[in-house]
Chains A and B, each alone.
Chain A
Amino acid sequence: MTEKTFTEAAREALSEAMDADPAIFVVGEGAGERGGNFETTAGLYEKHGPLRLCDTPICERGFIGMCTGAAMTGARPVVDFMFTDFILDGLGELINQTSKMQYMSNGRLKMPMVLRGCIGIGHSAATHHSGSYYPFFVHIPGFRVALPSNPADAKGLLATALRSEDPVFFMEHRHLLNLKGPVPDGEHRVPFGQAAVVREGTDATVVALTVMVHHAFQVAEELSGEGISLEIIDPRTVAPLDADTILASVRKTGRLLIVDETFMPCGIGAEISARVTEHGFDELDAPIKRLNGSHVPTPYSPSLEQAVVPDRASIEEAVRELLAE
């Protein structure tokens, strides 16, 4: 184990995969010699050159479509969006083409494509640079969606994504990019569809995503002083979703809170809630509770921005309400 930032850990996975597989190339605005707006590709251009670390014009639809064609013909593209908001210009390519190629070709084409970008509210980046949008992609057949919450998982999930034959979204919360943590040296892969039980507990289950894992963990530590025991689960991937680990936890605790920065309607919390209700209704001692970011475009001013994102105080309040049911 070595202490690394989230970005360093993810870059290590990319670097190792690019050394091992000459079919991998990265495209994006500034992904070349500049090394990526968030240093996602720093140092790799010097090693692999402009064809494998490819600067693009500002044409997300164009390079998503180009990478789709490249994946169909034997290459393994990594699309570095910088901000996930920018993906939206290419939604038609992604949903009508990338996600459907394997199916339309009756399994004769592969679609080994990684789509990575920064997500998350909290830097007064306002509404064109704060989006997350991953629930869209969970809804569509054909995609995988990975949401690492720490450096070790950033390395392990990206390593798995880079060897997958399916298109994978790898979404990096901006608040986590400089987070440091222990990262396994050498090859490290985290399989898709395996949630992590971040903290064991008995009174309530809290499923949290990306940066919310950290907020929920701190709330759990604080409440433990009052004798409240929270179990924290990080799904790590939401497509596929490890519902079994969540259900097993709810069997133990009887109570469930889902904390997600993205919008509530038709979101990840709605999906988890429905699955737990379908398969674990009798285990529940209280109605399932969801805590989400407000259903509004992200505002700019710090005071407005803080008001639309779940924080430790709102998580603690939601936990207390859940336990009072």
Chain B
Amino acid sequence: MSADSGDRFERHRWLYRTMFTIRTVEERLARSFMAGLIHGACHTYVGEEAVAAGVCAGLTDDDAVFSTHRGHGHALAKGVSPDALIAELYGRETGISHGRGGSMHLFAPEIGLMGTSGIVGPCILQAAGAGYSARLLGNGSVGVAFFGDGAVGNGAFHEGLNLAAIYDLPVLFVCENNLYATEVPFSHASKNPDVASRAANYGIPGIGVDGNDVLAVHEAAIEALRRARAGEGPTLIEAKTYRTRPHAEGMGLTGVYRTEEEVAEWREKDPISRFRRRILSDETMTASDLDRIEADVRAEVEEAEKEAAASPWPDGGTADRHVYRETV
């Protein structure tokens, strides 16, 4: 095997395993939600796995990711373990935010996960800020914002892209355009159906990519990261994708605007089975290699769930800790 094909094997293995881990954890969480083990809202990332995996495959622990309410996939792709994530949603002491955050407030700054968020928009500004730090401190890291089409009409999108552009900040703005903001179609929220074209308003490159094709996403991200690290400034990537589960668990899969036919159509374009077919046709791995990855991941996630369910609750007496860094 040449060095190149070895690299390709490793990359494909990582991408497949990461996407399959996200899918498996999300499906596990959906069952846990129905069982009453999750105490707040749970927005799954099923159908969009290629975006988080494709982008995060190019990042290091020093690159800072700022995510959304639909952020489990970004957290897992950035390296949060399934047990720390599940335990957080279960509200346990062993959760990644020790029970202070829940689904929408996942933090692991030591590996560059700077938070998922319950508010749409701020992640765009904060990623610009990480880019500002990187320039100021000269540490070569990159800020990455993941956000949905729902953020595009928000002022934070305009202000964040403009700020990153004028200061040439090393930032990736990754719009996961899944066509609906909760249940409002993007066509009702924007006269311009194209997100990537908005980059021209800020004088930066905008790349539209098939968000269900993990290799296409990865390729776009690698070029944007190269630009960022070379001091050439930010890039806007629009990954066109779809969530094939409800907006949040417990809500309807379809509604006034989403139809059964549309969901079925997008399930046909499922990013994981699509990548599996691609791997088999490229012969980078065999079916049994992939089956083994899937079996490993399933076992890991089941074990993680058991650990989370058996974990202790945080001590109520500690609820006022960490409001301030310094005591006065």
Q: Is the beta-carbon distance between B160 and A66 smaller than 8 angstroms?
A: yes
Q: A62-B163, A96-B119, A96-B122 in contact; A69/B114 too (CB < 8 A)? A: yes
What residues on A are CB-neighbors of B323 within 8 Å? 102-103, 141-142
Is A124 among interface residues, defined by CB-CB distance under 8 A? no
| Complex interface residues of chain B between 102 and 159 (CB less than 8 A to chain A) | 105, 107-110, 114-115, 117-119, 122, 124-130, 132-137, 139, 141, 143, 155-156, 159
Is A74 among interface residues, defined by CB-CB distance under 8 A? yes
Is A97 among interface residues, defined by CB-CB distance under 8 A? yes
Partner pick for B107 among A23, A62, A106, CB 8 A cutoff: A106
Which chain A residue shows the least CB distance to B318?
Answer: A106
The interface stretch among B44-52, B93-101, B266-274, B297-305 is B93-101
What residues on B are CB-neighbors of A73 within 8 Å? 64, 114, 129-130, 133-134, 141, 143
What residues on A are CB-neighbors of B105 within 8 Å? 104
Is A33 among interface residues, defined by CB-CB distance under 8 A? no
Q: Is the beta-carbon distance between B107 and A109 smaller than 8 angstroms?
A: yes
Complex CA–CA separation, A59 to B133 (angstroms): 19
What residues on B are CB-neighbors of A75 within 8 Å? 129, 132-133, 136-137
Q: A19-51 interface mask toward B, CB cutoff 8 Å, 1 = contact, 0 = none?
A: 000110100000000000000000000000001
What residues on A are CB-neighbors of B119 within 8 Å? 92, 96-97
Q: Is the beta-carbon distance between B126 and A104 smaller than 8 angstroms?
A: no
Q: Is the beta-carbon distance between B129 and A68 smaller than 8 angstroms?
A: yes
What residues on A are CB-neighbors of B127 within 8 Å? 69
- Chain B nearest Cβ from A245, distance in angstroms: 14
| Complex interface residues of chain A between 71 and 112 (CB less than 8 A to chain B) | 71-75, 77, 92-93, 96-97, 101-111
Which chain B residue shows the least CB distance to A57?
Answer: B162
Complex CA–CA separation, A240 to B115 (angstroms): 28
What residues on A are CB-neighbors of B137 within 8 Å? 22-23, 74-75
Q: B154-194 interface mask toward A, CB cutoff 8 Å, 1 = contact, 0 = none?
A: 01100110110011000000000000000000000000000
Residue among B98, B107, B133, B137 with most chain A CB within 10 A: B133
Complex CA–CA separation, A62 to B155 (angstroms): 8
- Chain A nearest Cβ from B66, distance in angstroms: 7
State the interface size on chain B (CB cutoff 8 A): 48
Complex CA–CA separation, A46 to B97 (angstroms): 43
Interface residues on A, range: 35 or more
Partner pick for B328 among A54, A74, A77, A191, CB 8 A cutoff: A191
- Chain B nearest Cβ from A12, distance in angstroms: 23
Partner pick for B129 among A72, A109, A141, CB 8 A cutoff: A72
Is B257 among interface residues, defined by CB-CB distance under 8 A? no
Which chain A residue shows the least CB distance to B319?
Answer: A103
Is A153 among interface residues, defined by CB-CB distance under 8 A? no
Partner pick for B325 among A64, A67, A104, A111, CB 8 A cutoff: A111
Q: A25-B136, A165-B325 in contact; A101/B115 too (CB < 8 A)? A: yes
Q: Is the beta-carbon distance between A62 and B100 smaller than 8 angstroms?
A: no
Q: A104-B101, A105-B115 in contact; A61/B125 too (CB < 8 A)? A: yes
| Complex interface residues of chain B between 41 and 94 (CB less than 8 A to chain A) | 64, 66
What residues on B are CB-neighbors of A116 within 8 Å? none
Q: Is the beta-carbon distance between B109 and A105 smaller than 8 angstroms?
A: yes
What residues on A are CB-neighbors of B122 within 8 Å? 65, 68, 92-93, 96-97
Q: Is the beta-carbon distance between B107 and A108 smaller than 8 angstroms?
A: yes
- Chain B nearest Cβ from A20, distance in angstroms: 15
What residues on B are CB-neighbors of A59 within 8 Å? 159, 162-163
What residues on B are CB-neighbors of A25 within 8 Å? 132, 136
Which chain A residue shows the least CB distance to B104?
Answer: A104
Is A198 among interface residues, defined by CB-CB distance under 8 A? no
Complex CA–CA separation, A74 to B225 (angstroms): 20
Partner pick for B163 among A66, A77, A105, A164, CB 8 A cutoff: A66
- Chain A nearest Cβ from B231, distance in angstroms: 12
Which chain A residue shows the least CB distance to B314?
Answer: A106
Q: B232-256 interface mask toward A, CB cutoff 8 Å, 1 = contact, 0 = none?
A: 0000000000000000000000000
- Chain A nearest Cβ from B76, distance in angstroms: 18
Complex CA–CA separation, A321 to B247 (angstroms): 61
- Chain A nearest Cβ from B166, distance in angstroms: 7
Is A261 among interface residues, defined by CB-CB distance under 8 A? no
- Chain B nearest Cβ from A113, distance in angstroms: 10
Q: Is the beta-carbon distance between A103 and B100 smaller than 8 angstroms?
A: yes
Residue among A52, A74, A110 with most chain B CB within 10 A: A74
Closest 4 CB pairs of A and B: A69-B129, A65-B125, A62-B159, A69-B126
Given contacts A69-B132, A93-B125, A104-B107, 14 further A-B contacts (CB under 8 A): A57-B162, A59-B163, A65-B122, A66-B128, A67-B129, A68-B126, A69-B114, A72-B129, A73-B114, A92-B119, A106-B101, A108-B107, A109-B114, A142-B323
Q: Could you pull out 11 A-B pairs where Cβ atoms are within 8 angstroms?
A: A62-B160, A65-B126, A66-B129, A72-B115, A75-B132, A107-B321, A107-B325, A108-B107, A110-B325, A164-B326, A166-B325
